[in-house]
Amino acid sequence: MADLADLTIAQAGRGLRDGDFRSTDLLDAASTRATVTEAHLHSYLIMDHDGARAAAVAADEAFAGGEDLGPLQGIPIGLKDNMCTLGVETTAGSKILTGWKPPYDGTAVARLRRGGAVITGKMNLDEFAMGSSTENSAFGETRNPWDTDRVPGGSSGGSSAATAAGSVFGAFGSDTGGSIRQPAAFCGIVGMKPTYGIVSRYGLIAFASSLDQIGPFSRTVEDSVALLESVAGWDRFDATSIDAPVPNFGGSLQAGVAGLKIGIVKELMGDGIDPQIQASTRATADKLADAGAEIVEVSMPSTEYALSAYYLIAPAECSANLARLDGVRYGHRSSIEGTTEEMMGHSRAEGFGPEVTRRILLGTYALSAGYYDAFYGQAQKVRTLVRRDFATAYDQVDVLISPTTPTTAFKVGEKSADPIAMYYSDVCTIPSNLAGDPAISVPVGLDDKGLPIGFQIMAPALGEEVMYRVAAEVERLVGFDERPSLATSEVTPA
């Protein structure tokens, strides 16, 4: 029998229901793979062995009793460590939350548990989800399973690397400016950001509240649908949650693209985008055209300014959100004696890393008296222009396509000293966050270094069904089935 850790969620689900193996077998396979891959990757911050074993046993008992809780029942799943888990340490990759165990599950986590998912542990991330490489974690960087000298992307690099390597069957991350799609592209898997409000943010440690959204990592488009449907839906604990029935996101996976009009974004195909990625994007668009879609070029001028606007809006929101971490109620408290104000200052200086500090300072400055209109106010106007560009584009086409990233995975340390170069990693993904629309990255090939290339599909708000329809067709047409060497059981530990 092939290694169970290499099964997709759909394949694993069928095997569980057919009695070919048990959930505990799947967990053992994923755990065995992790004993090999974690020596190279460091994708986990916490492995919840006892909790995962209990969940797998419970899933097997449910199957034995004829109870079917849904597509994730008995499936080992990882969680980015900014998703609150009852009684399990949740650090958001920061020293300031070391040792903090939430007194509740976030809504998405609770829904996964109710659906019988086996939560294996908490995955590494850039501190408070601020970064594009998972080098900013206070607990050490994560490496890319395709080349361990390279980054897995960020901020959800642990979730992405583990899914690609097979130490989980799928995972969840959060996407504020590309933190699901960009690492998915770097690691050669599927990563999806839903419409803002489709998945509750209750229990997600906030970075930028108007941008954050929980979404899935998977090895296939079909698996992505199963993961999303397991957590989507209105939640009374999240005022931004959409009060509407959960659509059938995967209802058109087999429909093909004949008759669809697809726009390729002109501004995301020019200078700064690696020529190999441009060529791969155009080749994939040509395949879609051959399959019956009409491909047109679409201009969205405001995307030129989206990156600058994002790096004012997101830091401004993070400076407000992280103000609650003051050493008074929970989290790290400095041992240096002094006044309450001095204690807060020392606690934050000791607890926050340099990238988080940089963004807090930038955001506080942008919100300060005399500068609000010039910076934050102007950025919000650009955000409005981005939304208008998307709305105009979707009046003409069904979906938009572009590269997911301007480059493939870069080397560890390569951009650490140049924040602007690091920020540019998200130039293709940020516009959809500003608009609040769904987007997905699907792997479509390898560059000349053997590194994965991601292809991005964007859709209008609540347009997940047509987005998944195109993504499934891209998956069929391209037939990308390469796996990193660290996803094979033949690799020996370091």
Q: Quick check: is 95 catalytic?
A: no
Contact between residue 291 and residue 256 where contact means Cβ atoms under 8 Å apart? yes
Is residue 155 part of the annotated active site? The answer reads: yes
Active-site residue among 23, 133, 167, 179?
179
Q: Is 415 tagged catalytic?
A: no
Residue 287 parent element (H or E): helix 275-290
State the DSSP string of 200-238. Answer: --TTBPPS-TTT--EEEEESSHHHHHHHHHHHBS--TT-
Identify the CA nearest to 187 among candidates 406, 441, 418, 479: 441
CA distances from 447 to 36, 43, 186, 440, 454 (A): 26, 24, 11, 20, 11
Rounded to whole angstroms, how far apart are CA atoms 213 and 245?
Answer: 18
CA distances (Å), origin 335, targets 95, 97, 219, 434, 440 = 14, 15, 46, 40, 45
Return the closest-CA partner of residue 400 out of 421, 428, 375.
428
The neighbour count for residue 380, using CB atoms within 10 Å, is 15
Handedness of CA 365, 367, 368, 372 (dihedral sign): positive
Q: Which helix (H) or strand (E) holds 446?
A: strand 439-446
Quote the DSSP letter at residue 447. -
Cβ 482 vs Cβ 188: under 8 Å:
yes
Q: How far apart (Å, rounded) are the C-alpha atoms in residues 489 and 158?
A: 19
Query: Nearest to residue 315, comparing CAs of 488, 128, 61?
Result: 128
- Report CA-CA distances (Å) from 78 to 82, 112, 211, 373: 12, 11, 22, 41
Distance CA(229)–CA(122), nearest Å, equals 21
- Choosing from 94, 132, 133, 155, the catalytic residue is 155
* Residue of 80, 122, 193, 415 with catalytic role: 80
Catalytic residues: 80, 155, 179
